[in-house]
Amino acid sequence: MQSLILERNIGKGDGKWRIIVGAVLALTVLAGMTFSIIHGRHNKKRDQHLNQGLDFFHRHEYDRALEEYTEAIRLDPAFAPAYANRASVYFNQGNLEQAIDDCNRALAIDPKLVLAYANRAGAYLNQGNLDHAIADCTRALELDPQSALAFVNRGAAYLNKGDLDQAIADSTRALELDGQSALAFANRGAAYFNKGDFNRAIADCSQAVANDPTLAAAYLNRAAAFLATGDSAGAIADCSQALRLNPTLARAYALRGTACFNKGDDQAAIEDANEALRLDPQLAFVYGNRGLAYLRLGDVEKALHDFNQAIEQEPRLAIVYVYRGAIYLQKGDSSQAIADCSRALELDPHLALAYWNRCLAYARQGDYQRAEADQKKALELNPALRQQ
């Protein structure tokens, strides 16, 4: 029985659904933020608060950093860099609207402040406003073609738009400017993953975590690549590390559950799927994965419930129709089995198992001509089925 990671392939291609495709979304590749110490010529006290804010920020003491930047602004309300740096605090606190507002205020004062464009792009990116993020990064690069941050954020935006080649190009340029950028490595690794180049994905994600061992998204992306190459142990280790860094990563539980299933640990797979769905009930592919674990444990009704839930949330999960069809076949409902296998083949005409199961259903109905045709097609696609 095959494991499932059912996600739309983001890369350019024929639009088919893959059985093992990882998820690299804005939630797993976050935009980076950089910060600069800017020394004013006329206000030493203002600069002192700005620099203290930067020190607190690097220690992740965001509330104290916010106080220092706010005091710098109080002392000099026309000092644009203070707003741009305070935006970085709001960003890391998850207050994206306030981050955007501070960048807007900075740009109203200084329309050529590159940091404000790049930081606002990071906030737009995490809101899913990809076109605005790209526009801000492009403007930042017009003003400063050497802004590694702008290339990092624009690469992340292109990644999430599915323009993988441009994402790779921007991430590579960011690394030419800043070879230590963990985010650039992570973003490029995600793009390589979605192009099916798993070895490059692993290499880039490995470099990302070497540069920043706290970057949970890089561990998660590398776990997906390990899973795609059959390294379940590596996937489990990386997902566990990602969860130590961020216990709210639903997809880390989902990927680890799939790896546990591949290793034959159905109970652990179900437990991880339960936690993934608690954190994010909209992860349709996790219902499919949990259903497989239940099916292998012999709990057909729970498996059927999960397959129904997966299809209800995402009707294009071809492989789930195949497995649901197998349950209907087992329950003696040949007509529903045929319907499910036919739907699977509409979505992906290369699913050998769908032809095979439909062959069995046709045979049970006495339709041997169609059964023979499906059997022939199934064996063309996967000769190993002959051993079943």
224-263: pLDDT as tens digits = 999 999 999 999 999 999 999 999 999 999 999 999 999 9
Structural domains of the chain sorted by starting position, each given as residue range(s) with its CATH number in brackets? 1-27+203-302 (1.25.40.10), 31-178 (1.25.40.10), 317-388 (1.25.40.10)
Average pLDDT estimate for 10-29: 26
pLDDT for res 295: 95
pLDDT for res 42: 54
Residue in this structure with the two tokens 């095979």, named with its chain if needed: 356
pLDDT for res 19: 24
pLDDT for res 178: 95
pLDDT for res 25: 26
% residues pLDDT > 70 (the chain):
89
Is residue 359 within 8 Å of 379, Cβ to Cβ? no
For residue 360, give every residue at least 6 positions away whose Cβ sits within 8 Å of its Cβ, in sequence order, or none: 329, 337, 371
**Dist. CA 227–CA 40, nearest whole Å:** 51
Reply yes or no on whether the pLDDT at 29 is more than 80: no
Q: 173-211 b/e with 16+ CB inside 10 Å = b? A: bbbebbeebbbbbbbbbbbbbbbebbebbbbbbbbbbeb
pLDDT for res 58: 87
291-337: pLDDT as tens digits = 999 999 999 999 999 999 999 999 999 999 999 999 999 999 999 99
**Dist. CA 145–CA 374, nearest whole Å:** 58
The pLDDT-based confidence of 387 (bands split at 50, 70, 90) is confident
161 φ/ψ angles, rounded to the nearest 5 degrees: -85, -10
Average pLDDT estimate for 217-222: 95
- The helix/strand count (H/E) of the chain reads as 20, 0
C-alpha torsion sign, points 294, 296, 300, 306: positive
DSSP string computed for 169-222: HHHHHHHHH-TT-HHHHHHHHHHHHHTT-HHHHHHHHHHHHHH-TT-HHHHHHH
pLDDT for res 44: 86
The pLDDT-based confidence of 35 (bands split at 50, 70, 90) is very low
Q: What is the mean pLDDT of the chain?
A: 88
pLDDT for res 60: 87
C-alpha torsion sign, points 361, 363, 368, 372: positive
pLDDT for res 34: 35
The pLDDT-based confidence of 66 (bands split at 50, 70, 90) is very high
- Distance between start and end Cα atoms, the chain: 12
